[in-house]
Structure 1
Amino acid sequence: MSHSTTSLKIESVIKEIFAASFGDKPEDVHVILENRCLIIRLERFMGKIMENLVVTKDNDALRSTSELIMDYLLPDFMKELKTFSDIEFDSFYYDWDDNNLSGVIVGLIKDNNYRLNEDYYPGKDEVHFQISKITYEVEKVPDSTFSFWADNNTLVVVREGLLIEIEKYLVKLDGEGALRKAKRALEKTRIIEEGNIPIILGRRLVGIYLDWMFEMDKSVIVYVFEEK
Structure 2
Amino acid sequence: MDKKSLQSEISSYMGKLLRDNFGKGPTSIYVSIKEPFLTVYIRDFLGPMERVLINQERTDRVEEMRDLLMQELIPEIKAALWVMAEIDVQELYYDWTLENRSGMIVGVYGDRENDTEALEDYHGKEKVHREIEHVSKQAEKLPEQVDSFFLNERTLLIERNGILVAIEKELIRSGFEEKLKLAKRHLEKGLLDLSAFENILGTKVRDAFVDWDFNLDRSYFIFVVDPVTV
TM over 0.5: yes
* Alignment check: 8 A CA contact 1:206 1:224 kept: yes
2:92 corresponds to: 92
1:183 corresponds to: 184
Runs (4 or more) in structure 1 with deviation over 6 Å come to: none
Q: Map 1:113-152 onto structure 2 (within 5 A).
A: 113=113, 115-152=116-153
CA spacing shift, 1:142–1:118, aligned 2, 3 Å = farther
Q: Distance in 2 between matches of 1:81 and 1:169?
A: 34
- Equivalent pairs counted in the alignment come to 227
Q: Which moved further from structure 2: 200-209 or 215-224?
A: 200-209
The letter for the 2-side match of 1:28 is: S
* Alignment check: 8 A CA contact 2:78 2:89 kept: no
Tell me if 1:77 matches 2:92: no
CA RMSD of aligned residues (A): 1.9
2:6 corresponds to: 6
Q: Distance in 2 between matches of 1:69 and 1:53?
A: 17
In structure 2, stretches of 5+ residues that fail to align are: none
Report the secondary structure of 2:185's partner residue. Answer: helix
The letter for the 1-side match of 2:161 is: E
CA spacing shift, 1:49–1:150, aligned 2, 3 Å = farther
Q: Deviations over 1:178-218 (max 9, x none)?
A: 21122112122112x37721221111111000000000000
CA spacing shift, 1:23–1:66, aligned 2, 3 Å = closer
Q: Distance in 1 between matches of 2:217 and 2:197?
A: 23
The letter for the 1-side match of 2:49 is: I
Q: Identical aligned pairs, as a percentage?
A: 29
* Alignment check: 8 A CA contact 1:153 1:226 kept: yes
Q: Distance in 2 between matches of 1:12 and 1:34?
A: 19
CA spacing shift, 1:195–1:131, aligned 2, 3 Å = farther
Tell me if 1:199 matches 2:199: yes
Report deviation, 1:153: 0.9
The letter for the 2-side match of 1:205 is: V
1:213 corresponds to: 213
